[in-house]
Amino acid sequence: MVLRSLGQEIPVVLPGRTEIVLDVTRASEAPARRLVSDLALSSADVRFIPEYHRLDVSVHNIGAAAARRVVVALMEGGREVGRQVIPNIEAPVDLDPKVVRVGFEFTPTRPRHAFTVVIDPDGTIEELTDRNNRVTVEIDTPAAPRKQHSSA
């Protein structure tokens, strides 16, 4: 199999209880591509905070380069609820996770809502893959009185 693009998947079926060795060889002497980011999220990265009427989303960079001006869009029922811009997410080159959390104001109208979160919805950031840039979750959104900060 020849890999022709950044982030191309390799379909591999691995049998259970069998030792497998996968040998990957560089077929050309072409210069290596420049390092790029890989923004990611999963359903575990989206949670509703009832007392603040806020949906929190944690965005990860699992690539090899920092990502700048990362747009995160929140959708509900096909309608965009809001957008946030993360100025910078560094690359985890020191092997420590690089995560930035953004919050979206949201007042629930029922006890459960379905949300879709999209990182880089306009596709402006070069990444290893964009397959991990979208997640849809259905989560509890209980009503709660809004918490007031002591400085308010």
For residue 62, being part of any structural domain is answered with yes
> What is the spatial distance between Cα 80 and Cα 75, in angstroms, rounded to a whole number?
4
What is the pTM for the complete model shown? 0.78
The confidence score (pLDDT) of residue 148 equals 72
Report phi then psi at 43, rounded to 5. -60, -30
pLDDT attached to residue 77: 87
- Print pLDDT tens along the chain (152 aa): 666 666 667 777 878 888 888 777 777 777 667 899 999 999 999 999 999 999 999 999 999 999 999 999 999 988 999 999 999 999 999 989 999 999 999 999 999 999 999 999 999 999 999 999 999 999 999 887 777 766 65
Give the pLDDT of residue 151.
Answer: 65
Q: Is residue 31 part of a domain?
A: no
Of 52, 48, 120, 137, nearest to 86 by C-alpha is 120
The CATH number linked to 57 is 2.60.40.10
In a domain, 74, yes or no: yes
Give me the pLDDT at residue 139, please. Answer: 95
* 120 within domain boundaries: yes
Q: How far apart are CA 99 and CA 135, in angstroms?
A: 16
Distance CA(82)–CA(104), nearest Å, equals 7
- Cα 4 from Cα 7, distance rounded (Å): 9
- Per the structure, the count of domains in the chain is 1
User: What is the four-CA torsion angle of 128, 43, 134, 101, rounded to 10 degrees?
Assistant: -80
Confirm whether 97 is domain-assigned: yes
| Pairing label, strands 54-61, 99-105 | antiparallel
In a domain, 102, yes or no: yes
Query: Is 133 among the domain residues?
Result: yes
